[in-house]
């Protein structure tokens, strides 16, 4: 008898009928004798409807009140899900954040979970009930409602699984698991059976949409085994787990891409101490996330500085940078929105040389120019022209044999 947390996203609970299907699936695990806690999102479209209501009322709403409004979507779903379970003869009980004290900080609309007081939840499971929990929402120290940001229900599920010391956290979604790359681009993309937290983290932050980054961090921190699978078909999905020795054999486990960033270049920046701080501190203060930064070697006391920001923040970023650039007598501020970032990820990179070289060679063979490069222990990202994205992804997926059973496992030494 296991303790299982199951999370169903907006599409899985998108209609009363689908909620009925979710109830059937939950019922199956419950009838097998497991203790089941279910975390649900708002019905598909509902959170957007609520956000629109808010923005129709005021363009820059009070965020405490924003959270009060947008957290109602999940409340509707827990009630309906519990009703559907009860109707199917399964004792069920719904819980909101204030009832099981999912305590967060007070950063409205992107709060972080600090603690979960799990006793009421545990009592409910001990009494043989299915606990149905509202995802996405929390409660701060003042007793005010908070929300966790987009994809926050994943985080709720992982945090609940950690609090219950669950055997597994099942994330039900509309895809069959985590793939070697986007199947819409690469027809031979393969579902990955097992992947490490670190690889999943890189994938999530580099563009794969299947799991929210913070939920993976949380799962890693508390060693929560996560199982990503489809709520529409009956198949094993992808297990996201602690690093296993076999995983190091895989040089590259996936290829991701991200078209959401824009490039900013400052030409002829005086190369003096403190220059980077003058440029990047105000951006940080404005909470604009700068991703990649490249500084060329200095020539005659000047350097070029290039970095990327989210496209949605580009105009705000320029407003902040331009006055500083003028003060510093920077020659030119250039921008480029037609870029994309293509990345390869794999635990095996840590111990195998030559992976980067192979990536650059592959792109070069396709005639794709690399504009920026950034690396970590387990990933390499290249910024290229946006129009080459699909070509690059397919070429890399093939070059590292990700479409083949066994993938890029020890078949070459780079």
Q: List residues near a copy of itself by CB under 8 A.
A: 16, 19-20, 50, 53-54, 56-58, 61-62, 64-69, 71-72, 75-76, 78-80, 82-84, 86-87, 92-94, 96, 98-99, 120, 143-145
Q: How far is the CB of 145 from a copy of itself (least distance, A)?
A: 8
Indicate the residue among 93 and 304 with the shorter CB distance to a copy of itself.
93
Q: How far is the CB of 19 from a copy of itself (least distance, A)?
A: 7
Distance CA 60, CA 63 (A): 8
Tokens of 155: 């985080």
- Residue 129 φ then ψ, to 5°: -95, 155
Residue whose entry in the numeric block shows the structure tokens 């779903």: 77
Residue 378's SS3 state is coil
Selection from 212, 210, 213 nearest residue 191 by Cα: 210
Query: Cβ–Cβ contacts within 10 Å for residue 364, how many?
Result: 11
Indicate the residue among 75 and 230 with the shorter CB distance to a copy of itself.
75
Tokens of 191: 């579902």
Indicate the residue among 62 and 296 with the shorter CB distance to a copy of itself.
62
Indicate the residue among 78 and 250 with the shorter CB distance to a copy of itself.
78
Could you tell me how far CA 292 lies from the centroid of its own chain?
A: 18
Indicate the residue among 21 and 335 with the shorter CB distance to a copy of itself.
21
Q: How far is the CB of 197 from a copy of itself (least distance, A)?
A: 34
Q: How far is the CB of 172 from a copy of itself (least distance, A)?
A: 19
Residue whose entry in the numeric block shows the structure tokens 């946006």: 386
Q: How far is the CB of 36 from a copy of itself (least distance, A)?
A: 17
Indicate the residue among 137 and 173 with the shorter CB distance to a copy of itself.
137
- Alpha carbon of 151 to those of 36, 51, 110, 133: distances in Å? 21, 15, 10, 15
Residue whose entry in the numeric block shows the structure tokens 């296993």: 244
Q: How far is the CB of 391 from a copy of itself (least distance, A)?
A: 46
Selection from 225, 255, 228 nearest residue 343 by Cα: 255
- Alpha carbon of 90 to those of 9, 14, 42: distances in Å? 21, 21, 22
Q: Is 170 exposed, middle or buried (0-12, 13-18, 19+ CB in 10 A)?
A: buried
Q: How far is the CB of 86 from a copy of itself (least distance, A)?
A: 4
Residue whose entry in the numeric block shows the structure tokens 């806690």: 37
- Residue 384 φ then ψ, to 5°: -130, 175
Q: How far is the CB of 72 from a copy of itself (least distance, A)?
A: 4
Indicate the residue among 19 and 157 with the shorter CB distance to a copy of itself.
19
Q: How far is the CB of 156 from a copy of itself (least distance, A)?
A: 17
Distance CA 152, CA 243 (A): 25
331 close to 267: Cβ distance less than 8 angstroms: yes
Indicate the residue among 99 and 265 with the shorter CB distance to a copy of itself.
99
Residue whose entry in the numeric block shows the structure tokens 């222990």: 377
Indicate the residue among 93 and 154 with the shorter CB distance to a copy of itself.
93
């Amino acid at each position: 008898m296991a303790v299982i947390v199951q999370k169903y996203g907006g599409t899985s609970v998108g209609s009363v009928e689908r909620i009925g299907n979710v109830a059937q699936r939950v019922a199956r695990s419950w009838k097998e004798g497991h203790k089941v806690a279910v975390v649900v999102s708002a019905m598909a479209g509902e959170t957007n409807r609520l956000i629109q209501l808010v923005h129709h009322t005021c363009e820059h709403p009070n965020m405490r009140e924003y959270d009060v409004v947008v957290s109602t979507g999940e409340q509707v779903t827990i009630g309906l899900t519990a009703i559907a379970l009860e109707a199917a003869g399964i004792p069920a009980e719904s819980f909101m954040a204030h009832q099981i004290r999912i305590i967060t900080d007070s950063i409205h609309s992107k709060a972080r979970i600090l603690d979960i007081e799990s006793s009421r939840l545990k009592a409910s499971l001990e009494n043989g009930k299915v606990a149905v929990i509202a995802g996405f929402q929390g409660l701060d120290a003042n007793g005010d409602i908070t929300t966790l940001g987009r994809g926050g229900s994943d985080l709720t599920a992982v945090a609940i699984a950690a609090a219950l010391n669950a055997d597994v956290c099942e994330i039900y979604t509309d895809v069959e698991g985590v793939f070697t790359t986007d199947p819409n681009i690469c027809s031979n993309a393969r579902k990955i059976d097992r992947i490490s937290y670190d690889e999943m983290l890189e994938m999530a932050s580099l563009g794969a949409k299947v799991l929210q980054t913070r939920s993976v961090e949380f799962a890693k921190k508390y060693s929560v085994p996560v199982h990503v699978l489809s709520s529409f078909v009956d198949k094993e999905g992808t297990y996201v787990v602690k690093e296993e020795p076999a995983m190091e054999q895989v040089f590259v486990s996936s290829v991701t891409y991200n078209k959401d960033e824009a490039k900013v270049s400052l030409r002829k920046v005086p190369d003096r101490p403190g220059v980077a701080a003058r440029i990047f501190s105000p951006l940080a203060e404005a909470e604009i996330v700068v991703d990649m930064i490249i500084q060329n070697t200095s020539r005659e006391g000047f350097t070029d500085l290039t970095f990327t920001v989210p496209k949605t923040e580009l105009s705000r970023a320029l407003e902040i940078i331009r006055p500083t650039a003028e003060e510093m007598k920077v020659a030119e501020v250039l921008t480029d929105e037609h870029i994309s970032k293509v990345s390869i990820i794999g635990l095996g990179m840590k111990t195998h040389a030559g992976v980067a070289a192979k990536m650059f060679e592959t792109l070069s063979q396709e005639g794709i120019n690399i504009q920026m490069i950034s690396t970590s222990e387990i990933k390499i990202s290249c910024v290229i022209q946006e129009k080459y994205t699909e070509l690059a992804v397919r070429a890399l997926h093939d070059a590292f044999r990700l479409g083949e059973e066994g993938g890029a496992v020890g078949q070459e030494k780079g």
